[in-house]
Amino acid sequence: MFGLGIAEILVILVLALIFIGPKKLPEIAVNLGKGIREFNRARQGIVDSINTVKNDVEEQTKSILDEEVHSEDTSSDHAATAKTDENKDPERRE
């Protein structure tokens, strides 16, 4: 945990107990826990928002690409039909 051994953690806890006192230490620990919990909720909310936007962009991109592919298929079908019509009726050529 943060590169600290058990001895270092015990020293920090003893110093906190001496300077803060036995009555305030639990309050501080509870508030610290609440702060960390709230931070994680906010972080998760941001991650969820980013994922939602990412998914929306991916869906829109896919939709646009599908429309382009569909319009290219339609134009190539029209071009193929026009060539076939020209080959059938040589008098229509200009």
Report the distance separating Cα 53 and Cα 39, nearest Å. Answer: 21
Q: pLDDT: is 77 or 44 the higher one? A: 44
If pLDDT is split at 50, 70 and 90, which confidence band does 70 have? confident
Could you read off the pLDDT of 8-58 as tens digits, one per residue?
989 988 998 898 888 898 899 899 999 999 999 999 999 999 999 999 999
Burial 22-60 (b: 16+ CB within 10 A, else e): eeeeeeeeeeeeeeeeeeeeeeeeeeeeeeeeeeeeeee
For the chain, give every domain's residue range.
21-63
Instruction: Please calculate the CA angle 57-58-61 and round it to the nearest 5 degrees.
Output: 85
CB 17 within 8 Å of CB 25: yes
